[in-house]
A and B are shown apart, each in its own frame.
Chain A
Amino acid sequence: MIREEEALGKAYDTRLMRRLLGYARPQFWWILLALVLTVIVTASTIVQPYLVKIAIDNDINTVSLPLVAYPIGQAPAGLPAVPFGGRLYVRVKALPKAPGSNVPIYTILAAGGQTAMIQGPMPHQAFTILPGARQVRVGSRLLTAVPVSAAAMSRFRQQDVAGLELIGVIFLAALLLAFLANYLQAYILNWVSQSSIFAIRKDVITKIERMPAAFFDKNPTGRLVTRATNDVEALEEMYSSVMVNMIRDGLLLVGVVVIMFQMNTYLALISIAVLPVVFVAANIYRNKARTAYRNVRLALARINAFLAENISGMRVVQTFQRQQAQEEKFRSANGAFRDAGIREIRLFAIFRPFMDFLYTGMVAVLVWFGGGSIIDSALTFGVVYAFIQYIQLLFQPINDVTQNYSILQSAMAASERLFVLLDRPLDLVDAPSPQALPAGKGRVVFDHVWFAYEEPTWVLRDVSFAIEPGQTVAFVGATGAGKTSIMSLLARFYDVQRGQVLVDGVDLRQVAQAELRQRIAVVHQDVFIFAGTIRQNIALNKPLTDAQIMAAAQLVGADRFITRLPHGYDEPVQERGSTFSTGQRQLLSLARAVAADPSILVLDEATSNIDTESEQQIQAALHNLAGTRTMIVVAHRLSTIQSADCIFVMAQGQIRESGTHQQLLAQGGLYYDLYRLQYKEDYDVT
């Protein structure tokens, strides 16, 4: 039996994971493409702060970069040279090689809304530009300066604006690329995910469909439906996000660390010093979160169980006037759920803000150390800015991990249940090389058959009988006497414990189930109508001609109501055939059985719930069919079976009497009593 209870095992189970990934294998190339796209997205994410760094260092924060001067016309070709005061100025940074120490350096200073050029590098102390911008005071010294007009400034910064625009274009291109890659990746991953769960669902439904009848006795339909629907659905996010998210997070982590080291080893070392703390914290959180999550789920399961029970048993609660007592009991289950929820909140309320704390703390650390390096001119500002951005990216995978973790956890729980189901042996399988049934006879033999749904409650005890081809036999007896069990064994829904059941001399266990069931048509008590048309319901996917279908319907007398339908044989029928009366549905299912042209036709209480008119029709139909094939009828109305070649009277899992109607009446036994009683019941009641 498969238990509904939320079994919360490990959040990650290699064995389960491998099987789950196996379902995604047909999409291997798509996954690979998604990975490539992920790399693009990640690269774009990582490159963005770097672009900002370039913009800051190369374009925005460049006013005071050292310059060298060339006479007009002598500046190196292809370099941005700005004419000012009769000379051309080129940034030192732009030169292919650093100028010699004897080459004079010029610097533009900006302060208090004035700009002035001095000869020499940027002063290390605070400075002020004196009014008129012809002198700059640095400490106690006065430097000679040349005022730089606004127009000249904009000439000097022309290259920066152009640079900014270029970076803007590159940035935009990166964004666009990321957008496309992101969307495509999401689409592909969802496609992979949906394909995988489609495949799993197919396996699950197919497996359930192939399970023997006994399996359905033990597992409520609702539970099986949950397996095929919700449990499979729980895997969706695992495929669509977790699978690639983990790789993306890893890439992001590595990428950020690499670029940090590439920019500045000192700050990179300081930055990654926080990682061990983060990992330890995340690990502690993960362990605690697992317990907290489990407790919440368990408390919820308890609430659900309590509600299910008390809602369906509310009548008992009310007639015993136990409303308050049950409310108190619910209060404790409900309270446990609340408390488990609050513990989960508290845990999360520490973890997430702690990560925020670490991030802001790291910004403080970067401000201190990075700022110091800027002052020492060991670093540019853009690098520090980029580090602050990268630190933020560093925390993203950590925060994702917690989300991925809970998705994984529920996926693992669901897949555990699914694989338990998929791994179940089929119990009742065809023999490795099944024997073929000899063509078209229909001889049935039960040879000392003992059968129990669950031992040792024997439902059939040592039952033996033989039915010759073309005979019509009937089984009668009280409810629970074993009549329906005989029919189930004949269709091999179950295997016998002792003895054997033979059709045309072959033990059923040696016959392929499909072949057997093509030989035997069973008309069940509960009629099952397939969605489709009347025609489809009679033919049931067999290549029957219209004439054959109509002949079957005529034979059982179903054509009369069918031809009166607006679309006749093409009338669409609802699931469960709810638009038809019980009698009509039964006639339909009888027509279906006849159309299958079986050598053995079984009617299991097929006339139980119908009105007299329909019953007479069915009886006429049976009369038509008699002699053409072996017919086995279970009925509790004796009138249906009087013309049978042989009647078996069953009691307590055994055949007590057998013979024709007349013989049994003459015998004066159980059948006689039964008949007398029913006759009275049917015709005598006032």
Chain B
Amino acid sequence: MRHFRALIPYFRRHRWFYVFGVGALLGADLAQLILPQVLERFVNTVQRAGAVQSDLWPYAIALLVLAVIIFATRFLWRNFVQGAARLIDYEMRQDLFHQFTLLSPNYFNHHKTGDLMAHATNDLQAVRMALSMGVVMIADTAFLITSTLIIMFSTISPSLATFALLPLPLAAVVTGLLGRQIHLRFRAVQDQFSTLSEHVQENFSGIRVVKSFVQEEPELARLMAHSREYFTRNMNLVRIWALIQPLVQFIQGLAFVIALVYGGILVVRGTISLGAFVAFTSYLGLLNWPMQSIGQLVNLIQRSGASLQRLQDIFAERPEITDRPGVTPPATPLRGALRLNHLSFSYPDSNRPAVADVSVDLAAGRTLALIGRTGAGKSTIINLLLRVFDPPPGTIFVDQIDILDLPLLTLRETIAYVPPDNFLFSESIAQNIAFSDADLGREIVEQAAADAAVKGEILQFPDGFETLLGERGVTLSGGQKQRVSLARALAKTAQVLILDDSFSAVDTYTEETILRGLLDLRQNRTTLLVAHRVSTIKHADLILVLEDGRVVESGTHAALLDHKGFYARLYQRQLLEDRLGGAPEGRGA
């Protein structure tokens, strides 16, 4: 229950919605409680000898007025309470997204996108249900049950009320007892559903092996066994679950039979009037819904409590990467000189250093290249420089300022970055290139595209720069994506440009063209190149060859070739590979 405390600020913001909403709800309940009273008086009037039809109009009018009141109050509470729940749902989802933007990439590495999405939709929906129907059920159930009981006992007949209500607690007991079993069996169904999903997933991803060993039939039989088990568990659940509603109805019916027989006898004996009998059965009818909803309410509160806890866990997550307290932007804009000072770093879940004792000093405006095998530590250095992970203090400096002493905003504004996965958004190409600043002029966007050697291809699309990407638009080839991602970085005015393996899907000729252009473009600006291919980096002012996180060779292209070490061999090998000609965008590997 304590999880619900988190909702208090949201509640408070919309308290008037709830005050009016619950007020209207109680108004509707009140109208419902008055209705049997009107009926009672109506019945007693028509029963009276000598009554004439004109005696009835007050009752008809009263009922019509009640009808209008019920309509108006129900309209109002639905709008107020459910509307407020929607508003809170919206605010919480916005807050959740805000929280996502604060969390470090490391968090996203450890949490599946699908799960995080489920929090923002399914969990919030469960909370929204608690905020709307939950609130309504609590108010409604409490008010209707107590007031109905009071009226039954005090104004009609305590003995009739006692006998007629006798079976109702049974409904609560039975649903409570069955509820546990249902819960267990429901869990079993869900578990089997997951198992089935996993096996189906497993089978579909291994389909080539399944097919090449002609295992389709045995595999299908296996999947069907899981499906059959799912069927069995569902029926196991149904066996009790299907009992609840008929049973509750039966118990309510039982209460009604008692009211009918015993109440009828009381009328026969003259203890109560026929009108009171009618009113009593109406009140009994009013109890049906609250009785049925108690079970639902408990279920709802449990589910939304669990959802709320999951949401709380995310909100409680502290961002790992934040500005140090009191950091201020430097007085003059950064020029882009880089210094790594004995940089060593291990990832949080590993004890092997990803980068070990790397030092380099790069004047502003120069080009540095990092080369080495996968896992050699190239991308780690970039991640540290971007503060995707925080480096140890005193190891990375921009313009002689420890990057930990710079505001994140300043640091990242200074850097334009081309990520290795070339992640693009499902927006127009122009919007993607102008990602760093939505107000960038069209000329800048087009120039960036031209510099990235992708403008021609963009203009080939029917909608040119307005072409939508992603599910609802076109799918770019790997090379095109890479170059749009490059254009996005080039469109950003930044002192430091980082290209993290940005030419892997681009053929050598295009790469050469882009790089030559960049040389002119990047004069006086610092550039960092990460590459597998020597061709990408041979013009760099300084090349670091990394192996297992350490710098094993460094120097210019020419110097490294003379050295005849790892770099020289790599160069030889790549020259040969070019001759063997693996198609860069081909598939079938």
Contact residues in A for B212 (Cβ distance below 8 Å): 491, 493, 517, 520-522, 524
**Interface-facing stretch out of A410-418, A478-486, A562-570, A621-629:** A478-486
Contact among B60, B83, B90 with A337 in the assembled complex (CB-CB below 8 Å)? B90
Further pairs besides A213-B211, A312-B113, A677-B569: 13, Cβ < 8 Å: A164-B264, A179-B249, A221-B205, A310-B100, A311-B116, A320-B492, A331-B94, A371-B45, A385-B278, A491-B211, A524-B212, A528-B206, A674-B576
Near A by CB (< 8 A), chain B positions 249-264 give 249-250, 253-254, 256-257, 260-261, 264
Q: Of residues 86 to 117 in A, which have CB atoms within 8 Å of B's CB atoms?
A: 110, 113, 115
CA distance A466 to B161 in the complex (A): 95
CB pair A319 B50 closer than 8 Å: no
Question: B120 contacts which of A48, A307, A481, A652 (Cβ < 8 Å)?
Answer: A307
The interface residues of chain A lying within 8 Å CB-to-CB of B49 are 122-127
* Contact of A316 with B by CB under 8 A: yes
The winner among A209, A331, A670 for most chain B CB atoms within 10 A is A209
Distance (whole angstroms) from the CB of B94 to the closest CB of chain A? 6
Q: How far is the CB of A561 from chain B (nearest CB, A)?
A: 21
Closest 7 pairs between A and B when the two form their complex, measured CB to CB: A478-B582, A126-B50, A364-B63, A480-B586, A349-B78, A360-B67, A353-B74
What residues of chain A lie closer than 8 Å to B254, measured between beta carbons? 172, 175
Interface flags for B194-223 (1: CB within 8 Å of A; 0: not) read 001111111111111111111110111001
Q: Does A651 contact B (CB under 8 A)?
A: yes
Q: Verify if B87 is at the interface (C-beta below 8 Å from A).
A: yes
Chain B residues lying within 8 Å of A127, measured Cβ to Cβ, are: 49-50
The yes or no answer to A465 lying at the interface (CB within 8 A) is no
A457 touches B268 (CB 8 A): no
- In the complex, per-residue mask of B38-53: 1 if CB is within 8 Å of any chain A CB, else 0: 0100110111111111
The residue from B39, B78, B268, B417 contacting A319, defined by CB atoms under 8 A apart: B417
Please give the number of chain A residues whose Cβ is less than 8 angstroms from any Cβ of chain B in the complex. Answer: 164
Interface string of B64-87 (1 = CB under 8 A from A): 101110111011001100110011
The contact of B425 among A191, A313, A485, by CB within 8 Å, is: A313
Given contacts A186-B246, A311-B108, A356-B70, contact A60 B59 (CB under 8 A): no
B586 contacts across to A, CB distance below 8 A: 457, 459, 480
Interface residues of A in 324-360 (CB under 8 A from B): 325-327, 330-331, 334-335, 337-338, 341-342, 345-346, 348-350, 352-354, 356-357, 359-360
A258 contacts B by Cβ under 8 Å:
no
Chain A residues lying within 8 Å of B318, measured Cβ to Cβ, are none
Q: Is B117 located at the chain interface by the 8 A CB criterion?
A: yes
Judge if A281 is at the interface, Cβ distance under 8 Å.
Answer: no
B417–A320 CB distance below 8 A:
yes
List residues of chain A with CB within 8 A of the CB of B43: 381
Q: How far is the CA of A680 from the CA of B274 in the complex (A)?
A: 107
Task: Tell me if B267 counts as interface (CB < 8 A to partner A).
Answer: yes
Contacts A190-B242, A459-B586: A321 and B100 contacting too (C-beta < 8 A)?
A: no
Q: Does A394 contact B (CB under 8 A)?
A: no
Which residues in chain B, 350-404, are within 8 Å of chain A measured between CB atoms?
386, 388
- How distant is the Cα of A216 from the Cα of B49 in the complex, in angstroms? 84
Whether a CB of chain A sits under 8 angstroms from the CB of B405 is no
Instruction: Check A164/B261 contact, CB under 8 A, given A228-B200, A371-B46.
Output: yes
Is B462 in the interface zone, CB < 8 Å from A? no
In the complex, whether A262 has a CB less than 8 A from a CB of chain B is no
B242 interface neighbour in A186, A202, A213, A317, Cβ under 8 Å:
A186
Interface CB pairs A-B, < 8 A, 12: A61-B274, A179-B246, A182-B249, A205-B224, A213-B207, A221-B205, A224-B204, A318-B388, A319-B415, A388-B39, A481-B582, A680-B569
Q: How far is the CA of A315 from the CA of B424 in the complex (A)?
A: 12
Give the number of residue pairs across the A-B interface with Cβ within 8 Å. 418
Name the A residues within 8 Å of B93 (CB-CB). Answer: 303, 334
User: Would A349 and B425 be within 8 Å (CB), given that A213-B208, A491-B212 are in contact?
Assistant: no
The chain B residue sitting closest to A454, CB to CB, is B587
Q: Which residues B2-46 have CB closer than 8 A to chain A?
A: 35, 39, 42-43, 45-46
- In the assembled complex, the Cα of A195 lies from the Cα of B78 at a distance in Å of 39
Interface membership of B277, Cβ < 8 A:
yes
- State whether the Cβ of B459 lies closer than 8 Å to any Cβ in chain A: no
Contacts of B386 in A (CB 8 A): 319
Bound-complex Cα distance A545 to B499 (A): 58
| Chain A residues whose C-beta falls within 8 Å of the C-beta of B86 in the assembled complex | 338, 341-342, 345
A314 at the interface (CB under 8 A from B): yes
Digitize A159-188: 1 where CB-to-B-CB distance is under 8 Å, 0 elsewhere.
Answer: 011001101100110011011001100110
CB pair B209 A480 closer than 8 Å: no
Q: Classify chain B: how many residues form its interface, as a range.
A: 35 or more
A76 at the interface (CB under 8 A from B): no
Decide: A651 near B261, CB < 8 A? Known: A318-B105, A356-B74.
Answer: no
A303 lies within 8 A of B246 (CB): no
* Interface status of B173 (Cβ within 8 A of chain A): no
List of A residues within 8 angstroms of B230 by Cβ: 198
Is residue A269 contacting chain B, with contact meaning CB distance below 8 A? no
Any chain B CB within 8 A of the CB of A52? Answer: yes
Contacts A60-B274, A354-B71 given; indicate if A303 touches B582 (C-beta within 8 A): no
Complex Cα gap A484–B589 (Å): 6
- Mark interface residues in A360-399 (1 if CB within 8 Å of B CB, else 0): 1101110110011011100001000100100000000000
Determine the distance from Cα of A159 to Cα of B313 in the docked complex, in whole angstroms. Answer: 69
Chain A hits for B235, CB < 8 A: 190-191, 194
A481 contact set on B, CB distance < 8 A: 580-583
Cβ-based interface call for B461 (8 A) = no
Q: Once the chains bind, are A123 and B74 in contact (CB under 8 Å)?
A: no
Q: How far is the CA of A224 from the CA of B204 in the complex (A)?
A: 8
- CB of B255 to closest CB in A, whole Å: 11
Answer whether residue B265 sits at the interface, using C-beta atoms and an 8 A cutoff.
yes
B173 nearest CB across to chain A (Å): 17
B534, chain A: closest CB distance, angstroms = 14
Given contacts A363-B63, A368-B60, A521-B213, contact A160 B268 (CB under 8 A): yes
Interface flags for A564-580 (1: CB within 8 Å of B; 0: not) read 00000000000110000
Bound Cα distance A485, B223 (Å): 29
**Complex Cα spacing A221 to B197, Å:** 11
Q: Is B180 engaged at the interface, CB distance under 8 Å to the other chain?
A: no
A685 close to chain B: CB less than 8 A = yes
Interface-side segment among B136-144, B330-338, B406-414: B406-414
Nearest Cβ in chain A — how far from B26, in angstroms? 15
Tell me the smallest distance from the CB of A155 to a CB of chain B, in Å.
12
A309 at the interface (CB under 8 A from B): yes
The chain A residue with its CB closest to the CB of B59 is A367
Q: Say yes or no for B315: interface residue by CB 8 A criterion.
A: no
Q: Is B148 an interface residue (CB 8 A)?
A: no
Check A349 against B261 for contact (C-beta < 8 Å).
no
A125 to B93, CA, bound (A): 69
Max count, chain A CB within 10 A of own CB: residue among B98, B206, B219, B243: B206
Answer yes or no: A596 CB below 8 A from chain B CBs.
yes
In the bound complex, do residue A229 and residue B200 qualify as a contact, i.e. CB atoms below 8 Å apart?
yes
Residues in B whose Cβ lies below 8 Å from that of A265: none
Q: Roughly how many angstroms separate A176 CA and B207 CA in the complex, as a whole number? A: 53
Cβ contact within 8 Å between A314 and B100: yes
Q: Is A70 positioned at the interface, with any CB of B under 8 Å from its CB?
A: no
Contact A517 B231 (CB under 8 A): no
- Chain B residues, Cβ within 8 Å of A326: 97, 101
CB distance from B551 to the nearest CB of A (A): 15
Measured between alpha carbons, how far is A198 from B202 in the docked complex, in Å?
A: 19
Contact A205 B78 (CB under 8 A): no
Interface flag for A206 (CB, 8 Å): yes
Indicate if A13 sits at the interface (CB-CB under 8 A): no
Find residues 480-532 in chain A having any chain B CB closer than 8 Å to their own CB.
Answer: 480-482, 484-485, 488, 491, 493, 513-514, 517-518, 520-522, 524, 528, 530-531
Instruction: Check B520 for interface membership: any CB of A closer than 8 A.
Output: no
Q: Is A286 an interface residue (CB 8 A)?
A: no
Contact A182 B245 (CB under 8 A): yes
Which residue of chain A has its CB nearest to the CB of B63? A364
Decide yes or no whether B110 CB sits under 8 A from chain A.
no
- Asked if B246 and A677 sit within 8 Å, CB to CB, the answer is no
